[in-house]
Structure 1
Amino acid sequence: MTAWTIIDAPQEEVRSGELGRRLRRFNYGVVGEYPDSQPVWLSARDPDDRMVGGLRGYVFLYWLHIDVLWVDETLRAAGLGSELLAQAEAKAKALGAHSAKLDTFEWQARDFYAKRGYREFGRIDDHTDGYYLAFMMKKL
């Protein structure tokens, strides 16, 4: 019988230490060597330097992963969200991404993304308080 101990892994070990190296070595054996994750972070500010929108994502394995896209309520439907998304997609393409993916709750921006070419490829019904979580993707 094998015995082991499981502990919380320090961030350094996961990202660039032994665990990260071993995972990359395994992945490289399947898909070849690929670049490190590249951040795609955008911030929109008004003339008074107040944040009015932003996007947080990253490119990994040639995909743009969008974590957060937020636009201040007073500027929704003014084109800022579309501009943030377009700039993130352009930056991701320059970093080698061929596609983008994200998830969004039904009360958030599913229709916004659909109008910009994203298609739903899956969902989790009743994820939170009866609302579904949609998974969406787009070829860049």
Structure 2
Amino acid sequence: MNITISPATEEEVRSGYVGRQLREFNYRHVGEYPEVQSIRLNARDAEGQVVGGLRAVVALHWLRVEVLWVREDARRNGIGSRLLMEAERIARELGARNAALETFEWQAPRFYARHGYEEAARMDNYVGEYYLAIMRKRL
């Protein structure tokens, strides 16, 4: 086969063709499941400025938290907890039964543990001497 590798065009990305092909392959093994759903939440202060946000997807009945951020001067006010709990609520409505995320040692493993997440795996020395924790929770 004479194959070339190139960036997907905007139309190819928009069409979702590659994702559909993988989903159809997966269906043969785990049965049908909904398409990937995105969760995008922002926390705003009284002036409307974004002080925190969460980005996640629900796929294969799992909530996958990709980003949870709270501005440093707004931390320790429950904003991160509220964002996480709202994402979990939405994910359950979308059919998620579990949640997973990755966090570095210097970020928030203790925060997630307080919310019921447990370390499922750890990659030591991921960045310098710091580990990357892979955490999960039953919803």
Give the alignment's TM-score, normalised by structure 1.
Answer: 0.90
Instruction: For residue 54 of structure 1, give the secondary structure of its aligned residue in structure 2.
Output: strand
Displacement after TM superposition at 1:16 (Å): 4.0
CA deviations 1:21-40 (Å, max 9, x no partner) are: 33222111111111111111
Alignment of 1:45-84 (within 5 A): 45-84=44-83
Figure out how many residues of one structure are paired with residues of the other and give that number. 139
Displacement after TM superposition at 1:5 (Å): 3.7
Structure 1: where are the runs of 5+ without partners?
A: none
Instruction: Report what 2:118 is aligned to.
Output: 119
Alignment of 1:2-17 (within 5 A): 4-10=3-9, 12-13=11-12, 16-17=15-16
Give the alignment's TM-score, normalised by structure 2.
Answer: 0.91
Aligned-pair identity in percent equals 54
Single out whichever of 25-34 and 104-113 deviates more from structure 2. 25-34
Instruction: For residue 27 of structure 2, give the secondary structure of its aligned residue in structure 1.
Output: helix
- One-letter code aligned to 1:78: N
- One-letter code aligned to 1:54: G
Displacement after TM superposition at 1:13 (Å): 3.9
Work out whether residues 65 and 100 of structure 1, in 8 Å CA contact, stay in contact via their aligned partners in 2.
yes
Single out whichever of 32-41 and 4-13 deviates more from structure 2. 4-13
Instruction: Report what 2:19 is aligned to.
Output: 20
Work out whether residues 14 and 20 of structure 1, in 8 Å CA contact, stay in contact via their aligned partners in 2.
no
Instruction: For residue 113 of structure 1, give the secondary structure of its aligned residue in structure 2.
Output: helix
Instruction: Report what 1:103 is aligned to.
Output: 102
- One-letter code aligned to 2:111: F
Structure 2: where are the runs of 5+ without partners?
A: none
